[in-house]
Structure 1
Amino acid sequence: MQTDKAITNHTEDKLNREMFVNALAQEILAIQNRDCTVIGLYGKWGAGKTSIIGLLEQLLHEKYYFTAYFNPWRYKSEDIILRELFMKIIEGARSDRKLESKWEKLGVLFSEYGQFISLPSANIKGIKVDFSKPLQGLVTGLGRLFKGKSTIDDKKAAINEILDQLAVPLVIFIDDVDRLDVAEIRSLFKLVKLTADFNKLIYIIAFDEDIVAKALAQNYGTGEPGDGKAFLEKIVQLPLRIPTVPNKERFTYTINLLNEWAQSQAFEFPEKYQALFVKHFKDLHDNFIKTPRDSKRLLNAVSFSYQCLRDEVNVYDIVLLETIRIFLPAVFDELLAVQSELFKLQTGENGYTINNKKSDAGVAFEKRINMYAHTLPLIADVTDYLFPFNNLFNLGFNSNRSEKIADLFAHQRVAIRRYFDRFTEFKIAGEDISDLEFKGILSRFNTLPYSELTDEIQRLCMFPKNDIYRLFHYFRSQLEETGKINVATMLCTKEHFYFDNSFESRFFRMIDLSLELLAGVGQMKRIESLRQIIFTCPSIHHSLSIIYDAQYVSDRQRDAKFHPIEALKDITKEYIFKIQRLPLADYFKNVDDEKCDILCHLIDQYGDAEKFRTELINFLDQKPENVMLFIKSMLPMSYINMSPIGQYSNRIDYDKFRTIEQYVRREVLIEKCLIVYPDAYQKIDINPDERQSMEIDHKIIIQYLLFARSEQATEMSDG
């Protein structure tokens, strides 16, 4: 945690302010006149005013100057402020041993001087406080109260006479003036100008000029800030502005803080994305991080987020998002409000959509962050870097967006939704496995035999299958040969991963990934692993799907095509022989989810096709409703409007019925269907919309009979 403590030693100066401090010290050493001198240090909050005071104090001590640090913000009222200020002056006088004989007299004079001082009543936070009574009890024990006819000027002159004998002036630093309320600011400057302007005193007052000028303008002038600044000119003899730190030095300061923090956390900033991060961070830094205090606040926020998400979110993205959150809060709030737009344009694995027209969402977003209009281009650039799929700032076809999704995933970028959610929630969600845990499991997959991975597999089955698929997909380059075999075996034989006929499952092809992994294994191990997977998978239909995909994989996945093909054919023949020894009813246990089209095709190609057709007719003869099990096992499910639940279509492709008739003759099918639905021909010509209320089996039968009638008409026409 970086504190806001000011530096006190030049070895701690990381902003190269030594020249400024040395020049100010020389200016102070050159002061020869006895009059009270007021030096103003002007700077915004966090600009380093207190640090400059600390460095200056060190130099003045080396020249035997007495210095006192006075912070009026610590005290509750003006009378206490004045009392403490007088105490600092007396303390300074006691530092000069030449005045030892005058110490008691000086204390008495301050006590007498205090009796003449009265402060006007003032409203402080709505409460009227009367300070009109003379201050009493000042510097108790330092002197007796003498009574006489002296005026306040006489007492002040007597005090000055003693202070004139100081070898060097007393330097009093007054800090945090801009933290006082309006009444306290006015009172303090009145004290410095009229009440405590003694000889041989140098006041160095540090404050934000704009804040103080605004406070003074309410009493001295028309209320405009310029009036307050004009009043300051009458009090401050040497107005100095805190040196402006160039953007490059400020940025270097912040980067050094980040590097020191990284060393304390025993990690190194990754090389991947470093150049892009530096570019975008510098753009934000130059415009919004203006002071050392800003840098420390950012580092503290980054440190906290990192402690919550260590090794779980890209550290560069954490820095950029924390910068936006702290210094562009309206932008951050809007990003949270339109999260869905940040991930909207994702397309393929190797790229994403680039539009050359700004979306309506982007136009509305810009309006809501209009207060940052002057920096909108850099906000767009940073947003585009963090969220390359965003639908807010589409920078056009000239943009170079070359990162692959796999890279974004592997490097835990917030462009991937799971990592952005982690950042915003400061946690790993209950349904999200941490990257640290996953990498540990991946390591064990690489080294242990499958039989010893029971606990790891059970743990992975606790998370959504598609999330685990993504992890293995995007971290597949880290899998060694044993790991590839183990992952392929798990994805293909554990029901949690392979059993899913939803629309979404079409985008998470466990078989494709498994075959791709096996393609990277030596030939002998590849053949044995595939055979083991096919013969141990609990689902006949899934084993057959693996065989089919391995043999007929699409061109898109040609790298995953199984070789040697002859070995695959031998495995297929052996497996078909095995399943043809099972009761045929085993094929039709779950016809809505496990289809038989691949089974029929592979039996035709590698098995006993005649035996299969004979057994199929016997199966249909056993019970009339078995015909519907067979027909539905050959029909695909439709996912209307991407519904997660499949349905049989109201407009079944006639090619599907033609395939069915390759295994059972038409007249047999019609006979069995009419047993199931005797009134089918009476309903065959009703409006298709009226079929919506029919039972599923009846709707399928009606469509089959329509197909059969159409085919018969075509055959008669051709004949």
Structure 2
Amino acid sequence: MSENKHFLGNNPISNFDEDLFNFKHYADKVKRIIQLNSSNNEPLTIGIYGKWGEGKTSFLNLVKYNIEHFEKNEKGKEYLVFEFNPWRYSDEDEMLFDFFDGISKRFFIEQKTKIQKVGKQIIRYSRYLKAIKISTTIGIPKTLGTSVSFEPSKIFEALGEDLAGEQITLEKLKDKVNEAINDANFKVIVFVDDLDRLDKNEIYTILKLIKLTANFDNFIFITTLDSEHVAKAIKERYGDNLEDGKLFLEKIINIPIHLPKIEEEDLQYFFEKKFNQITKYLDFKEIEKKQNEIKEIIQGFSASKFNSPREIIRVLNGFFIAAFGFEDEVNLTDLFWIEWIKVKNEDLYTRIKKYNSFGTMAIFNGQNVIINFNDEINYGVAKNHSLINEEEINGSRKEFIDKYPDFKETLDLLFPNKKATEVDISIYDENLNINSVTHFNKYFSFHTERKIKNTTILKIKKFIAENDEFKLYEEIKELIKNSGFNSFYTIQNLIRFYGNINSNLECRDFFYEFIIKNISIIPNSNEDMFGIDSRIRLIELIAIILNADEKNDNEKTAINIAQYLDVEELCYFTRKFKDEKTKFKGKLEKFISDKASRKFNNENPIYIIPNNPVKMIMHYWKNNDEKGFNKHIKESLTDIERVKKLIRNFPGFWNNSFYGGLQKKNYEYMKTLIDVVFVFSKIKELDDSLIRKIDINNYDYIDDVSEYNEEENLEQFIYWFKKELNDEAFGSNRK
């Protein structure tokens, strides 16, 4: 395992570069509101409304970033920004007086006499408030050196202010603050974050500060809040119900600004970015298998399953620590979704965790057991008195689905409801699935600019319905031009939309063929963590949907699509069809062979650039045209460098970055495709010293996942070949 492991932080963003939801555009509008309000001296309060975890503080920071970096016009006022954190104080008085202390000091930072005068007037105003507080609560301390009096002006004089001849009232002092700030030609922007995280008395104090105590001219308060939570907190002071609290809040907030909606494509992009960020820190012994499980998680993402970005972070951090702890002991896909349930509904998670996975609460088939929660006693007893499972739900499963209907889809994913006769239980054991009694308890033992206009989507659907290929091409090209890589997510969602079992097949087939024919226009600058680019991901998605559709005969659609794919793309497409359910897969494999025989020749041999589908191409080419395939391999191996490239295709390719060692299993697989006797003889012919160099009795261990170069892979091939000859000779001698 690598030494450095990192959780995902939950800190708000601070600049445009971190803005994954394109809030910056709306934040810029808020900045313009403030700018356009520059000539208005009246105080203003802006409320940024949103639920917890939706990004209010991030949005506030983007507004702040805008304010500190815009260019004002010649007559515009200068801006002074003050950030007030109400969380730091133990009581309301301390919070109130420290506000004035902090903001007055902020004015003294500016080296201008008029600005400093504002600070001085605010200090006087604050002292008078303190004097009132003293006079109405504890009286006059003896240290002030004056006779006991409850008159605020007397206390004020005792504090050292020279106010001879002035009539002192709070309104008079407030007027002086206003005069000073208007004379300085400044606007003050006060940021107050997390208002909805305070208790009800603290919330009241902040609202009183905004509306009554500090509503000076040219002051703009910008605060973040969950309006419903704040309304609940203040309703007891201003009415009898929630509506009274909301009405009072409306008097405080001049401009309510609701956070822009986080659209599905944005949330999916956020999820994939954060998911890739944590999974790169996970190392696994069975890397290829775990990578496939990680891909399933990405493919199974749905924005509807998450309420906020913060919820995604919570699920991913829980998944990360669990995956790190379990290593390769569980199925990562199942682990992710049980972690999702834990965050979304702790009660359901706890009930699953405490479930008795033995006895009548399971389905028995020999020594193997699967869990599907169909556990009602005497339910589905067959004639031989063995417990069987029917598709109808019963027992705990029915109880779960009735009580938690929103979780049915995920329960069906983790604990499939199938008849025992339809289940190969060994697969669940082999894949470490949560519904296997062998593995169930493991999952709990550790636990103590991407906005797309809807009108664009509607146009695309209209042109698909009309089978208008020209207009559809132009509309998607415009979508890509305006939205960049985000258009990939929109097209991906459209593919899923038309893959719905109840969708119009004519529209589906037209759109799928259109995408394949025009795959080159899809943005292709971004690869996922497996090195699979966006075009291949769309090709695979179409194949997955066609393969899953058991209602319709999709042979014609699949064959038509295959004609437009090059041989590498066709491999990714074909491998998503399962042999046991796709009768036409053989035709797709024949296409791979035909395309390979036309593409590859002596000048461009199949193996020259090792990549993921090369072995698959070799397999189907040999299966369908063994003579042509063998001829290509033998005639193209003209130098030792090409031999190295050929062998290079068979070691594991790890983390999409380096090749491992050619292990025995890799060599054995190579023998099923390539005439290794010919390859060995070719090495002997081209450079016999390489063969003489390898002593099978004194050769280093070949590691599966350490990085090796082409020369070392070649030596490993020679080692296995010579060792095999030696073992055969030894076996003959023993006989």
Using the size of structure 1 for normalisation, the TM-score is 0.51
Equivalent residue for 1:99, pick from 104, 109, 114:
114
* Aligned equivalents of 1:307, 1:188: Cα separation in 2: 44
Asked if 1 retains the 8 angstrom alpha-carbon contact of 2:282 and 2:323, the reply is no
Q: Aligned partner of 1:66: which letter?
A: L
Deviation at 1:412, TM superposition (A): 2.5
* Aligned equivalents of 2:346, 2:245: Cα separation in 1: 32
Which residue of structure 1 lines up, in the alignment, with residue 594 of structure 2?
Answer: none
Which residue of structure 1 lines up, in the alignment, with residue 47 of structure 2?
Answer: 40
Deviation at 1:154, TM superposition (A): 0.6
* Aligned equivalents of 1:121, 1:344: Cα separation in 2: 72
Deviation at 1:26, TM superposition (A): 0.9
Matched, 1:381 2:429: no
Deviation at 1:92, TM superposition (A): 3.9
Matched, 1:77 2:97: no
Q: Aligned partner of 1:102: which letter?
A: K
* Aligned equivalents of 2:321, 2:398: Cα separation in 1: 34
Which residue of structure 2 lines up, in the alignment, with residue 360 of structure 1?
Answer: 395
For residues 657-693 of structure 1, give each alpha carbon's deviation from its aligned partner in whole angstroms, at most 9, with x where no partner exists.
xxxxxxxxxxxxxxxxxxxxxxxxxxxxxxxxxxxxx
Asked if 2 retains the 8 angstrom alpha-carbon contact of 1:349 and 1:406, the reply is no
Equivalent residue for 1:24, pick from 19, 27, 30:
30
Which residue of structure 1 lines up, in the alignment, with residue 511 of structure 2?
Answer: none
Deviation at 1:309, TM superposition (A): 0.7
Which residue of structure 2 lines up, in the alignment, with residue 417 of structure 1?
Answer: 437
Matched, 1:66 2:80: yes
Compared with structure 1, are the counterparts of its residues 365 and 350 closer, same or farther at alpha carbon in structure 2 (3 Å cutoff)?
closer
Asked if 1 retains the 8 angstrom alpha-carbon contact of 2:122 and 2:177, the reply is no
For residues 600-623 of structure 1, give each alpha carbon's deviation from its aligned partner in whole angstroms, at most 9, with x where no partner exists.
xxxxxxxxxxxxxxxxxxxxxxxx
Asked if 2 retains the 8 angstrom alpha-carbon contact of 1:280 and 1:381, the reply is no
Which residue of structure 2 lines up, in the alignment, with residue 260 of structure 1?
Answer: 277
Deviation at 1:396, TM superposition (A): 7.9
* Aligned equivalents of 1:14, 1:208: Cα separation in 2: 22
Deviation at 1:167, TM superposition (A): 3.4
Q: Aligned partner of 1:113: which letter?
A: Y
Uncovered stretches (5+) of structure 2, i.e. residues with no partner: 1-6, 71-77, 138-149, 371-387, 448-663, 669-723
Q: Aligned partner of 2:329: which letter?
A: E
Compared with structure 1, are the counterparts of its residues 243 and 299 closer, same or farther at alpha carbon in structure 2 (3 Å cutoff)?
same
Asked if 2 retains the 8 angstrom alpha-carbon contact of 1:68 and 1:92, the reply is yes
Matched, 1:57 2:64: yes
Deviation at 1:175, TM superposition (A): 1.1
Instruction: Specify the SS of the correspondent of 1:8.
Output: coil
Deviation at 1:408, TM superposition (A): 3.1
Instruction: Specify the SS of the correspondent of 2:441.
Output: helix
Q: Aligned partner of 2:415: which letter?
A: F
Deviation at 1:43, TM superposition (A): 1.2
Asked if 1 retains the 8 angstrom alpha-carbon contact of 2:86 and 2:95, the reply is yes
Larger Rg: 1
* Aligned equivalents of 2:209, 2:367: Cα separation in 1: 71
Q: Aligned partner of 1:310: which letter?
A: E
Asked if 2 retains the 8 angstrom alpha-carbon contact of 1:280 and 1:382, the reply is no
Deviation at 1:180, TM superposition (A): 1.3
Deviation at 1:278, TM superposition (A): 4.4
Deviation at 1:13, TM superposition (A): 0.9
Instruction: Specify the SS of the correspondent of 2:280.
Output: helix
Matched, 1:248 2:265: yes
Instruction: Specify the SS of the correspondent of 2:183.
Output: coil
Asked if 2 retains the 8 angstrom alpha-carbon contact of 1:305 and 1:426, the reply is yes
* Aligned equivalents of 1:104, 1:381: Cα separation in 2: 61
Asked if 1 retains the 8 angstrom alpha-carbon contact of 2:44 and 2:220, the reply is yes
Deviation at 1:247, TM superposition (A): 3.0
Compared with structure 1, are the counterparts of its residues 422 and 77 closer, same or farther at alpha carbon in structure 2 (3 Å cutoff)?
same
Alignment coverage as a number of residue pairs: 413
Q: Aligned partner of 2:14: which letter?
A: T
Q: Aligned partner of 2:107: which letter?
A: A
Spell out the pairing of 1:235-634 with structure 2 (5 A cutoff).
235-265=252-282, 270=290, 272=292, 277-278=297-298, 280-282=300-302, 286-287=304-305, 289-340=306-357, 344-345=362-363, 347=365, 355-366=390-401, 370=403, 372-373=404-405, 375=406, 379-388=407-416, 394=417, 404-426=424-446
* Aligned equivalents of 1:348, 1:17: Cα separation in 2: 57
* Aligned equivalents of 2:151, 2:31: Cα separation in 1: 38
* Aligned equivalents of 2:205, 2:18: Cα separation in 1: 35
Matched, 1:153 2:171: yes
Compared with structure 1, are the counterparts of its residues 277 and 348 closer, same or farther at alpha carbon in structure 2 (3 Å cutoff)?
farther
Deviation at 1:315, TM superposition (A): 1.7
Compared with structure 1, are the counterparts of its residues 248 and 334 closer, same or farther at alpha carbon in structure 2 (3 Å cutoff)?
farther
* Aligned equivalents of 2:396, 2:283: Cα separation in 1: 42
For residues 438-496 of structure 1, give each alpha carbon's deviation from its aligned partner in whole angstroms, at most 9, with x where no partner exists.
xxxxxxxxxxxxxxxxxxxxxxxxxxxxxxxxxxxxxxx97999xxxxxxxxxxxxxxx
Compared with structure 1, are the counterparts of its residues 143 and 318 closer, same or farther at alpha carbon in structure 2 (3 Å cutoff)?
farther
Asked if 2 retains the 8 angstrom alpha-carbon contact of 1:112 and 1:145, the reply is no
- Of 154-163 and 342-351, deviating more is 342-351
Deviation at 1:215, TM superposition (A): 1.3
Identical counterparts, % of pairs: 26
Compared with structure 1, are the counterparts of its residues 304 and 34 closer, same or farther at alpha carbon in structure 2 (3 Å cutoff)?
same
Asked if 2 retains the 8 angstrom alpha-carbon contact of 1:343 and 1:415, the reply is no
* Aligned equivalents of 1:409, 1:478: Cα separation in 2: 23
Asked if 1 retains the 8 angstrom alpha-carbon contact of 2:239 and 2:245, the reply is yes
Asked if 2 retains the 8 angstrom alpha-carbon contact of 1:302 and 1:319, the reply is yes
Asked if 2 retains the 8 angstrom alpha-carbon contact of 1:68 and 1:171, the reply is yes
Using the size of structure 2 for normalisation, the TM-score is 0.50
